[in-house]
Amino acid sequence: MKKVLIPTKLDRIAADMLTQHGGYSVVQDNTTPLADLLAQHADAYALIVRSEKITEDVIHALPDLKVIIRAGAGYNTIDTQAARRRGIDVMNTPGANANAVAELVVALYLADARHIVKADPSTRAGKWEKSQFMGRELAGKTVGIVGLGAIGKLLVRRLQGFQVRILGYDPVMSEERARDLDVELVDMATLFSQSDIVSLHLPENDQTRGLINADLLRQMKKEATLINCARSGVVNEEDVRRIKPELQLRFLNDVYPKDEAGEKSVADVADVMLPHLGANTREANTNAARRAAEELIEYDDKGITSYVVNRDIPEGLDEAYGDLAYTLSKLCRALVGSQHPIKEIETSFYGSLKPYATWLLIPIVTALNQNVDRSMDHAAALKFLKEMGISYQDREADPRKGFENSITVDFTAHTGTDQLMVYSVRGTVAEGNLMIARINDFDKLYFEPRGHAVLFTYEDRPGVLGRIAAALAEANINIDDVRNPHDSKCKQSLALLKVNQPVDPKLIAQIGQSIGAVTACSISF
């Protein structure tokens, strides 16, 4: 029998399901120190954990270990790379806690709006301060949800009974899917300026860290409410501290840099703060435990690996092509613009890449949104696209075109109610280097996607490239490489410039406006 070690306080349903299966012996112990458990159960085949730190030393202490399951979504406490080096699959249970977090958002707003936190001790003390606790209703308000993943979508459903208007920002979700949810897709500026309540549901990464900053906060309505049950780093704390008094904002918080006792830096600005209770419900704990057991059984009995988060690349495929697929998709996303919802993705895989089409879809999908895990499998990638309302087609590649080992990615996106735009890019790998070969009808670019770049398409005429270069120079931005082809069919030119630093989106917009650009964007590869 396979030994499963559960060194954490987890609902007993996981141990019961695994025991009833008959193929596992389960040791669940959350009182014995982890080091002692590792020594006593060095023959463990699987490890199910919650927030325990699973370091390389822990992994080495279990020589028979094959699977680690995090009963929850985040797995930053597990050294996934060390596990992969040992051939150990790491899995998680995404979505198990989503409803708990969605309900907490509603609870936080109501508790604050109706002064429940302050009114209770006041009344217990014999006071009758009813006049001081004039509240606010949720009905009739506009709620902005940043991130329409599992939690965001459940929050929409929980709020609909309150008769609110719901605005949503999600760079991936299609207009059709948003309409199905009865959500108005808008850009971030519109969401923050029109919402009475803004709830954050996005991961913390290089793209989102500090995203909620002064520019967005200053656009909020007076006395609006900001709720953060996502990650602490997505909010610029100093900007909240500076702008909150000006607009009399309410700030409700459940997340911190570290989940531990001690003083919290947001204590002076948070109107309500909780010890990361988002997933802390009996039901969420039960759901996560059940999913952990189900995933282990499916993994062993059926070979289902949908939730492996440290997946390796397929044998025989050069890892560079995974990076190429990701880069092409990221470039298409930048060309479309985050404000335009994607309707359809089409791909073509040429040469020896065709057998790996299902795996190569994964980096294409993960480039759409940092909340998507690159270690998902093909089925999970298709499921994500379906949930976002994005159709997908893998076209049969025409070998006569001679695009040996190339990838083409096309995005179709909404620009307005009935208008669509299509962007198409093709790339390959040459001598180990990624190469962008084509953008729309601008072919033979041979542009290496590395570092930072700006891109403009415009009506073909003399002097435009010079104006772009002058504007960049004025901002102390140096140009390292240039492609400036012309398309006689549509009478347009492409200016693709590699630059030495990221370019402020405001400058991109200014340059685009000054040259009458059809497309204007920047991207960091």
Look up residue 16 and give its two tokens: 């019961």
Question: Is the same domain home to 264 and 289?
Answer: no
CATH number of the domain residue 487 falls in: 3.30.70.260
Count of residues in the chain: 525
Question: Is the same domain home to 104 and 92?
Answer: no
pLDDT for 201: 94
Q: For the chain, give the mean pLDDT.
A: 92
CB 142 within 8 A of CB 162: no
Task: List the domain range (segments joined by +) for residue 448.
Answer: 319-524
Question: Is the same domain home to 404 and 488?
Answer: yes
307 inside domain = no
Question: Is the same domain home to 88 and 12?
Answer: yes
pLDDT for 146: 96
245 inside domain = yes
Cα–Cα distance between 176 and 298 in angstroms, integer? 33
Question: Is the same domain home to 231 and 324?
Answer: no
310 inside domain = no
CB 250 within 8 A of CB 136: no
Taking residues 3-26, what's their average pLDDT?
A: 96
308 inside domain = no
Q: 421 or 141: whose pLDDT is higher? A: 141
Cα–Cα distance between 178 and 505 in angstroms, integer? 26
Per-residue pLDDT reduced to its tens digit, 422-438? 999 999 998 888 999 99
53 inside domain = yes
CA 410 to chain CA mean position, Å: 21
Question: Is the same domain home to 245 and 328?
Answer: no
Question: Is the same domain home to 438 and 425?
Answer: yes
381 inside domain = yes
Per-residue pLDDT reduced to its tens digit, 214-223? 999 999 999 9
Give yes or no for residue 74 having a pLDDT over 80: no
Sign of the CA dihedral 267, 273, 279, 281? positive
Question: Is the same domain home to 80 and 104?
Answer: no
Give yes or no for residue 371 having a pLDDT over 90: no
- pLDDT band with cut points at 50, 70 and 90 for residue 95: confident
pLDDT for 416: 66
Question: Is the same domain home to 109 and 66?
Answer: no
Among candidate residues 495, 458, 492, the one with its CA nearest the CA of residue 479: 495
Per-residue pLDDT reduced to its tens digit, 291-321? 999 999 999 998 888 788 887 777 788 889 9
Question: Number of folded domains in the chain?
Answer: 3
pTM: 0.76
Taking residues 490-515, what's their average pLDDT?
A: 93
Instruction: Report helix, strand or coil for 407.
Output: strand
Cα–Cα distance between 154 and 166 in angstroms, integer? 12
CATH number of the domain residue 37 falls in: 3.40.50.720
Q: φ, ψ for residue 250 (rounded to 5)?
A: -105, 135
- pLDDT band with cut points at 50, 70 and 90 for residue 203: confident
258 inside domain = yes
- pLDDT band with cut points at 50, 70 and 90 for residue 370: low
Residue 101 exposed, middle or buried by CB count within 10 Å (0-12, 13-18, 19+):
buried
314 inside domain = no
Of all helices (H) and strands (E), which one includes residue 328?
Answer: helix 319-336
Question: Is the same domain home to 102 and 38?
Answer: no
Question: Is the same domain home to 432 and 518?
Answer: yes
Cα–Cα distance between 360 and 377 in angstroms, integer? 10
Question: Is the same domain home to 32 and 132?
Answer: no
Strand order in the sheet with 391-394: 391-394, 342-349, 406-414, 420-430, 433-439
What is the SS3 string spanning 447-474? ECCCCEEEEEEEECCCCHHHHHHHHHHH
Per-residue pLDDT reduced to its tens digit, 109-134? 999 999 999 999 999 999 999 999 99
